[in-house]
Amino acid sequence: MLFALMASAAICLLDLPSAIRTKEKREITIVSILSALVIILCFLQAFGVNLPKLMTLINEFFMWLGIYYKM
């Protein structure tokens, strides 16, 4: 939880203001959306939500396809 809070604070205090300072609408929009997504992910992780394990899923997919070295 502490990490989620600190990451959000860092993003909101450093990244977002620098994006806003550019005064480009496109830049601000994209950075805001990305920041929001990352902050949501951080809090989901902090609340113990079981996020999908991407590499494990890819591994299983490749094994299902048969593209792997046999032990």
Partner 1 sequence: MSIDKSKITVTQFVFTIVCFIESSAVLSSFSVGISGKDSWFTMIMGYLVFLILVFVISQIMRRYPDKTLIEINNEVFGNVLGRIISVFYIWFFVTLTSLNLLDTQVFASSSIMTKTPPIVLMATFMVICVWALRNGISVITRYMTVIGLLSFAITVFAFIIAFQKFHLSNLLPPMQQKPIVYVQASHIVSTIPFGEIIVFLMLTPNVSSSSKKYGRYILIGTLLGVISMLLVAIRDIGVLGETIKYFTVPSLETQRVSSISKIFSRLEVLYTIIFTALMYSKIVVLLYAATAAIAQFFKLKTYKNISLLIAALCIVYTLNLYDSGISHGLSGMLVVPFLWSFIEYILPILTLCVILIKSKFKKEGTENDAVRVNGKRGNLSLGPSLGN
Residues binding partner 1 (CB under 8 A):
3, 6-7, 10-11, 14-15, 18-19, 22, 24, 26-27, 30-31, 34-35, 38-39, 41-42, 45, 51-56, 58-59, 62-63, 67-71
Contact (CB, 8 A) for 34 and 42? no
Burial of 17 (0-12, 13-18, 19+ CB in 10 A): exposed
